[in-house]
Amino acid sequence: MADQPLVLGIETSCDETGVGIVRGHTLLANTIASSVEQHARFGGVVPEVASRAHLEAMTPAVERALAEAGVGFGDIDAIAVTAGPGLAGALLVGVAAAKAYSLGLGVPLYGVNHLAAHVAVDQLEHGPLPKPCVALLVSGGHSSLLLVPDVAHDVISLGSTVDDAAGEAFDKVARVLGLPFPGGPHIDREAREGSGAAVAFPRGKYDDGTLDFSFSGLKTAVARWVEARRAAGESIHVPDVAASFQEAVVDVLTRKAIDACRRYDVRDLLIGGGVAANSRLRALARERCQAAGIRLRVPRPGLCTDNGAMVAALGADLVSGGAAPSALTIPADSSLPITTVHV
């Protein structure tokens, strides 16, 4: 068990009920039940709706994951669960389920950090992480730069968003442009037919000397630009606006990520989180990393969005590293700091 533990991971921080099973760094199952369609008419995730969806999806998702992996409950060595950060009610469902499985099966429980799990998941595709590496995490709730000496024990925050996260800005701009929720995939699709240089949208905190991000001003600038043209009776070419907005976001993200690598003399950059599935972010990061002599690692899109496999991967690292299990009294912490990898 020590080197190749079989770990079941549970993720319920937002609107996806994710259950993953790994053996060491080998992915055996990654089952996801999303409630995104239930939130679409509200233009964003409704916490109570998400929590109820997790309750309904949990048992079927676990059973599907076990069947996909070809294992039974008796084969599981440990349970890992996202203890935070995330939506409090949604987290509670996952943490309660994980405690029940841990107690019922008589196996140890590991409460883990959602953001650190987004880093750990890359090991399922590209092998052990370089030590150290810099991680750029971009999602609906987080835009963070991290220095990662050891993902299971030592993660250091270098910078984060001071207002809207990148994914949140994608959702809000999509709404302005009349595109469906969630906005990220739709803006990415529209932008492929537009020009990123069509509109000169602002780049918040671009040259401020920090490794922090700000996307609220950009979101507002897009909204005002669109409103002004509609008021003047002018037509709006959505692909150009989408591409120009997207370019502003990924320009800042990749510039600061490269800057972080240079400042801390790190030669490996990892990008994770839901926005890491964005095609332009992946392309520009690849281009700038090659120019700077930095090695880039980005998981496949299916492992970028919230999933149970990432939780199981981090749990496996903790088990194989001899970390003490979490107590059955661990809370669901909606504001769990990134420096707390293991609760």
Q: Is the pLDDT of residue 36 over 80?
A: no
Of 32-46, 67-81, 320-334, the poorest mean pLDDT is in 32-46
Of 2-6, 166-170, 200-204, 246-250, the poorest mean pLDDT is in 2-6
The answer to whether 138 is annotated as binding is yes
Average pLDDT on 35-47 reads 76
Tell me the percentage of the chain whose pLDDT exceeds 70: 99
The answer to whether 118 is annotated as binding is yes
HSE-CB at 49 with a 13 A cutoff on CA atoms is 13
**pLDDT tier at 288, thresholds 50, 70, 90:** very high
The answer to whether 25 is annotated as binding is no
The answer to whether 140 is annotated as binding is yes
pLDDT digits (tens, 9 = 90+) for 21-34: 999 999 999 999 98
Q: What is the C-alpha to C-alpha distance for residues 39 and 42, in angstroms, rounded to an integer? A: 5
The answer to whether 137 is annotated as binding is yes
Average pLDDT on 318-326 reads 96
> What angle do the packed helices 238-263 and 216-231 form, to 10 degrees?
160
pLDDT in the model for residue 334:
96
> What percent of the residues of the chain are helix, what percent strand, and what percent coil, each to the nearest 5?
45, 20, 35
**pLDDT tier at 276, thresholds 50, 70, 90:** very high
What are the chain's domains?
6-121+307-320 (3.30.420.40), 133-299 (3.30.420.40)
Rounded to 10 degrees, the C-alpha dihedral 279/280/286/288 comes to -170
The answer to whether 87 is annotated as binding is no
pLDDT in the model for residue 2:
59
Q: Is the pLDDT of residue 139 over 90?
A: no
Q: Is the pLDDT of residue 53 over 70?
A: yes
Return mean pLDDT, the chain: 95
**pLDDT tier at 263, thresholds 50, 70, 90:** very high
HSE-CB at 331 with a 13 A cutoff on CA atoms is 7
The answer to whether 184 is annotated as binding is yes
The answer to whether 51 is annotated as binding is no
